Amino acid sequence: MTQRAVAAVILAAGMGTRMKSALPKVLHPVAGRPMINRIIDTLAPLAPERTVVVTAPDHDAVRAAVAPAKTAVQQPALGTAHAVLAAREHLEGFDGIILVMFGDTPLLTEETMRAMAGAMEGPADPAVAVLGFRPEDPAAYGRLVTSGDGALEAIVEFRDCDEAQRRIGFCNAGIMGLDGRVALALLDRIGNDNAKGEYYLTDIVALARAEGRACVTVEGDAEEVMGVDDRLRLAAAERVAQRRLRNDAMANGATLIDPETVHFCWDTRLGRDVTVEPHVVFGPGVTVGDDVHIKAFSHLEGADVHATAEIGPYARLRPGAEIQAAARIGNFVEVKKAVIEAGAKVNHLSYIGDARVGRQANVGAGTITCNYDGFDKHHTHIGAGAFIGSNSALVAPVRIGDGAIVGAGSTIAEDVADDDLAFTRAPQTAKSGWAAGFRAGRQDRKNKNAK
């Protein structure tokens, strides 16, 4: 923990035109979580005293997404320093550490942001800390010019670099720590005498040094400071996030048979000794207990899977699905807003929605709960130890009692008492020799047509 209070200013006013989207850029998800919310989550362990998100005037959706964080509007958009100053009313009187970052850098880690805050409490008592990185190709990034003792002397934009400076591999990530005691005064002095007429946050380094204040750097990983400004970079960020989530899952005791084919969500929770086969997708809100086996090509979202359950292959668990211990959900089975109790089996080609399946019950292939009447959803109860024959339709609301048996091919619209047998079938009719006569007649007609 830092000794000084921390405030966070997240710059999210960019229009994101290269995303070609009606959705504000920072609301595009990475691992199922909007980029801006991922950053707020990353900062949460630092317990910021104030968090301010700077938005564009028409970004009501962004302001709603980041609540209860404070927001400020940058209007017009006149550069990064101007954006930070848009948060002035929330920073007045704050004398702690201000962390400034961008809403389109969803891969930042808690460790790096702690390092930034820690650098601001170093012996040099810096006015500014700048996050740097070393890309494989420095390209047109601004360079961080440091002295022999590691102090930051200047940030030089690529177009202004001389040949020696262009050979510097340490580049500016744009993320800064500022001393709240002097930040606003320094920001107010930044001018806009440049080709774009904008106020650049990078100019604060020269101003702080001119006043005799130290500036320092923190080195981060090139991957985590990647900004997302188009769909290609969004996909690249998703790949990184997925790799991290897979590595975390395996480090915590899960087996991923083919990790690259498993897709996680930011809040997926797997227990120990879980086995996940290839091509499994986890949507939001999935918790999996210990010793669960999830077979290939299954999709889980909003589901709670208890210890020792078995899922799939080709199973779909939708929101509200609760699969209790040792229960089995098999191939091409869909479960929605239903509890499958311990030891129950729904193994083949079934839909179980708005239902409860009791302990040790068996639901046969092709069974569906008819839960929707065109206006409302209704509940189906299948009792403990009940047996539902294949290709049955249970028309909700309906209760199948404990130990009851439903004959295959039945449509059940009334309650079935405990231990009863219920079935609905038309009487079977047989016509002796009809099939042979049918075949002979057809073959005769086929022969005549051929002539």
Q: Give the pLDDT of residue 256.
A: 98
Q: Which residue has the higher pLDDT, 149 or 243?
A: 243
Query: Which residues define the annotated binding site for Mg(2+)?
Result: 104
What is the torsional sign of CA 152, 158, 163, 169? positive
Q: CB under 8 Å to 8, separation ≥6 — which residues?
A: 40, 43, 46, 48, 50, 51, 52, 98, 99, 101
Per-residue pLDDT band at 378 (split at 50, 70, 90): very high
Q: Give the pLDDT of residue 1.
A: 63
223 token code pair: 């991957």
Which pLDDT tens digit goes with each residue over 34-86?
Answer: 999 999 999 999 999 999 999 999 999 999 999 999 999 999 999 999 999 99
Query: Which residues define the annotated binding site?
Result: 11-14, 25, 74, 79-80, 104, 142, 157, 172, 318, 336, 351, 362, 365, 371-372, 390, 408, 425
The residue assigned the tokens 């409302």 is 376
| Residues catalogued as catalytic | 348
Query: Which residues define the annotated binding site for acetyl-CoA?
Result: 365, 371-372, 390, 408, 425
Q: Give the pLDDT of residue 141.
A: 92
For residues 84-106, average pLDDT: 97
Per-residue pLDDT band at 451 (split at 50, 70, 90): confident
Angle at 279 between CA 276 and CA 285, to 5 degrees: 65
For residues 355-363, average pLDDT: 98
Which pLDDT tens digit goes with each residue over 261-270?
Answer: 999 999 999 9
Average pLDDT, the chain: 96
Contact yes or no for 54/86 (Cβ under 8 A): yes
Contact yes or no for 187/98 (Cβ under 8 A): no
- Residue 425 backbone dihedrals phi, psi, to 5 degrees: -145, 140
Q: Is 58 exposed, middle or buried (0-12, 13-18, 19+ CB in 10 A)?
A: exposed
- Cα 167 from Cα 146, distance rounded (Å): 13
Q: CB under 8 Å to 209, separation ≥6 — which residues?
A: 153, 154, 215
pLDDT of 409 > 80? The answer is yes
Q: Which CATH number fits domain 6-219: 3.30.1540.20, 3.90.550.10, 3.40.50.11540, 1.10.150.130?
A: 3.90.550.10
Boundaries of every domain in the chain: 6-219, 255-422
Q: What is the CATH number of domain 255-422?
A: 2.160.10.10
pLDDT of 313 > 70? The answer is yes
pLDDT of 15 > 90? The answer is no
